[in-house]
A and B are shown apart, each in its own frame.
Chain A
Amino acid sequence: MGYAAMSDQDEAAKLHVDPGAVEEAAKFLYIRALKVLPDDIQAGFRRLDATESDATAKTILATMIENIAVAERTDNLLCQDTVIPIYNVLIGRHVEIDGVALKEAIRRGVERATREHPLRSSVVHPITRVNEHTSCGPGVPVINIDFMETPRELRIEMIPKGSGAENGSFLKMCIPAVGVDGVKTFVIDRVMEAGGKVCPPTIVGVGVGGTSDLCMHLAKVAATRPLGSVCPDPEGAKLERMLTEAVNALGIGPQGLGGDSTAFAVHVELAATHITMNPVAVNIQCHSARRATATFTPRGVKIGF
């Protein structure tokens, strides 16, 4: 059945999303994500605090936990880094929105959050280093658009990605002959090299396979997944369990000052790759692992993590 054959009833059952509502949501999500840490990350802190054996590390974790409460009490940002804003848009079936208007609305939301809160604009032109003071610039905010089965639902996830952790991004086009051991070695070496610079305890995102760009994107998806989520591929899930254990045996600890709590978890995402290729990417998320989500349905807009 072609689109033209869609009945009036189906047409009426579509979710129409207004760009104005997207703009408001984009603005709201940016500010909320910078202020409220998701439940799964807060639970992750409690878990690390309960098992940490190093005295300095325990003090640092306690200060991080206190900071979450201070941010809530004073309605302030958790971290001074107002980041490069990333928006992941998931469009379900029977959703109608003008795609160009959607992207413009997100950008306007980012500009308004920056001016109206106000937030420090951390975004500059890469060559001139000029700051437009809008948190926007060429190609920024980053907007990823994908589709899902869920009917009459549109989801906008806002990910603040801080620069200290984003600078902990690495790609290696390993060769097939080094196998999965080459992948493991690369991840461990990069986590050691990053040390305290990436603001541990972290979520280490690992991309395995794909093309170079897909591999890097998978690492970002892995780094920004909720704690407790597991790679859907059983081999990927096995690798993330093994690497989580290995990374937390390093002794880097919170802020790189020693201890057991180097990472909340290592997350792996994978994609098929070429017979000649064995790519691995690392993208790290800091302990201020922030997210916020708006879900548009026919009943209204729901805010969550």
Chain B
Amino acid sequence: MAHYDFDMPVTESQTRRLRVGDTVTLNGTLYGIRDATQIHMFDRGWTTRFDLNGHAVIHTAPNVRKVARSPRHPAGYAPVCIGTTTSARMERFSRPRMAQYGVRLIIGKGGLGADSARAFAERGGIYLAIIGGTAALETTWIEAIEDVDLDDLNPESLWKFRVKGFGPLLVAMDSRGASLYDRVRTTARPAAPGHSPPWA
């Protein structure tokens, strides 16, 4: 179990080293993406001016406050509360995100499925678990909202955050096909003392 500090973006050789159980802290750029963002990007042909190559995306739609543009708030938005959402709904977008945009790290809660695991193996991708429902804490790791694209979809815009000490995040799926969620699924014991049938 090793810990890594990443200045984003990262190379494939950096992510290939990661194993489930390792932890990672991110610095620099982090992109926020969600259901509607990806439905529009991958089903409806919308494109982004952002270069996601080698970057991390977090499944999020933040609480923000509209403010005047300034060096501190270059996008005209101040962070209010930023956390994560359940990843499983966005399973079918893992592969195109990596293939078309070169995304290397996906951050969320609850894990992703078998096709994402295969895509991670092929392209050196990683799923990092952040803790759902702890957004007050995670907001303190975000320095600014640097930019925003596809803002017609607000709050499900494509957000560009500047982060410092964003983590530790747990490597929950690695590029060798290992998944902590699969381990838990296969070892879940549907049994209770004194009640064997009908679920033993």
What is A's interface to B at a CB cutoff of 8 Å?
A: 56, 60, 63-64, 66-67, 70-71, 74, 76-82, 117-122, 129, 131, 162-164, 167, 181-182, 184-185, 188-189, 192, 195-199, 242, 245-246, 249-258, 286-288
Contacts and interface: CB of A to CB of B under 8 A. Distances in A.
A242 B195 contact: yes
Given A81-B83, A242-B195, A257-B172, 4 more contacts: A76-B81, A120-B61, A252-B184, A257-B180
Contacts of B192: 242, 245-246, 249
A118 B180 CA distance: 37
A118 B65 contact: yes
B169 to A, nearest CB: 11
B189 A255 contact: no
Contact of B188 (A66, A70, A82, A192): A192
A298 to B, nearest CB: 37
B63 interface: yes
Given A80-B83, A82-B63, A119-B63, A245 B133 contact: no
Contact of B184 (A120, A184, A258, A286): A258
A238 to B, nearest CB: 12
A2 B56 CA distance: 69
Contacts of B170: 56, 257
Interface string B41-74: 0000000000000000000111111100000000
A110 B170 CA distance: 36
B86 A197 contact: yes
A78 B110 contact: no
Contact of A253 (B85, B140, B184, B191): B184
B41 to A, nearest CB: 15
B83 A199 contact: no
Contacts of A192: 185, 188, 190
7 contacts: A80-B60, A80-B135, A81-B85, A131-B154, A196-B181, A246-B190, A258-B187
Contacts of B62: 80, 120
A44 to B, nearest CB: 14
Interface of B: 36, 60-66, 80-86, 88-89, 109-111, 129, 131-137, 139-140, 154-155, 170, 172, 180-181, 183-185, 187-193, 195, 197-199
Given A60-B131, A80-B81, A71 B193 contact: no
Contacts of B184: 195-196, 251-253, 256-258
A198 B133 CA distance: 10
B171 to A, nearest CB: 11
A258 B179 CA distance: 12
Nearest to A66: B137
Nearest to A78: B136
